[in-house]
Amino acid sequence: MSTIVSTQVQLAARPTGWPTADDFRTVQVMYGDPEPGQVRVVNEFVSVDPYMRGRMNDVKSYVPPYALGETMTGAAVGRVVASASDDVPVGAVVLHQLGWRDVAQAEAKYFQVVPEIPGAPLSLRLGILGMTGMTAYVGLTAIAGLQPGETVFVSGAAGAVGTAVGQIARLLGAERVVGSAGSAEKVELLTSKYGYDAAFNYKDGPVRRQLRDVTPGGVDVFFDNVGGDHLEAALDRMNDGGRLALCGAISAYNATERPAGPDNMANAVTRGLMLKGFTLPSYLHHGPEFQERMTEWFAAGKIAYDETVVDGIENAPQAFLDMMRGGNIGKMVVRTAG
């Protein structure tokens, strides 16, 4: 009755160091009518995220590596246009992990029906109202145990997670929030829009010195998206009993040689620091709590956001590459043609 062409982006080669457009290829897949139990979804937005870089390597990690010739999986949001399942009706908005394609067709179990949130573009389900925002929330609460009155430092603060961390930290009662970013424009945005008390451009000089200048009272909670010199600088500034939520290490993702680690790990002993790495799949049980609080904050107009939107599924690789180099402010998403 209704066959459809799905444009999909696959991993064509495993990059060494920085990926390039040649590591991907775009293919067309034909779908016939949904079979019994299947659903057809036209995506509106697909997500490009830093963790995907790790999956392009053929190494064991918390998510398995992409197979060569496999369509890049990852978060996406769309609407059901055809359904042969009683569980997922036509017209429903669904989240799924089928990734970089404009049309997704699969068994209903792969799709999670979510309500529309008044005033919120669907893309926010991939960002501040979705996994990105939840990563920020879990890192500050379950991992770092942020207490009111504390000072928070966020690395990569203008990224998707970072812009959420600063605001959530403030809403949870942080006394002072400081962040780093990679351009003057981003730094300005952090203090003007995202409630940061101070921010610095890590390209302007040593992170160690710049962080010291903006944290006269030290740091209680460090939310790390970057690793490397940022982690080292934070270890110097942590107050006794400080907690470091290690969310990412984008500085290392494309390195071909292992970077030297922080030279001051001994501070962890003398200051009684806790460093805890985390990835969201282990903390999905915090989802309901996050959704409740974030929806309330959003409805009350307390959540600012930026998105960097790239049009066309065929441009997903370039969006991903730009994001890895810091070309985004807030969440980077790809708007699919539908």
Residue 262 CB, nearest distance to a second copy (Å)? 4
Residue 227 CB, nearest distance to a second copy (Å)? 6
Tokens of 57: 């390597």
Amino acid 276 reads K
Residue 324 CB, nearest distance to a second copy (Å)? 15
Q: In the complex with a second copy, which residue's Cβ is closer, 254 or 315?
A: 254
37 vs 106: CA distance, rounded Å: 8
Residue 207 CB, nearest distance to a second copy (Å)? 15
Q: Which helix (H) or strand (E) holds 243?
A: strand 238-246
Query: E-assigned strands of 132-218?
Result: 151-154, 176-181, 198-201
Residue 62 CB, nearest distance to a second copy (Å)? 5
Residue 42 CB, nearest distance to a second copy (Å)? 33
Tokens of 316: 């997903």
Q: In the complex with a second copy, which residue's Cβ is closer, 78 or 262?
A: 262
Residue 61 CB, nearest distance to a second copy (Å)? 5
Q: In the complex with a second copy, which residue's Cβ is closer, 174 or 246?
A: 246
Q: In the complex with a second copy, which residue's Cβ is closer, 224 or 306?
A: 224
Contact of 46 with 54, CB cutoff 8 Å? no
291 vs 282: CA distance, rounded Å: 17
Q: In the complex with a second copy, which residue's Cβ is closer, 32 or 259?
A: 259
Contact of 155 with 225, CB cutoff 8 Å? yes
Taking CA atoms, 97 is separated from 8, 46, 104, 111, 259, in Å, by 13, 9, 10, 8, 32
Taking CA atoms, 331 is separated from 50, 195, 322, 334, in Å, by 11, 17, 12, 10
Residue 143 CB, nearest distance to a second copy (Å)? 9
Query: Phi, psi at residue 150, to the nearest 5°?
Result: -90, 165
Q: In the complex with a second copy, which residue's Cβ is closer, 10 or 215?
A: 215
Three-state secondary-structure class, residue 6: strand
Tokens of 231: 């982690």
Q: In the complex with a second copy, which residue's Cβ is closer, 32 or 261?
A: 261
5 vs 17: CA distance, rounded Å: 33
330 vs 74: CA distance, rounded Å: 18
Tokens of 182: 């990679």
Q: In the complex with a second copy, which residue's Cβ is closer, 50 or 182?
A: 50
Q: Which residues bind a second copy (CB under 8 A)?
A: 54, 61-62, 227, 231-232, 240-241, 246-249, 252, 258-279, 282
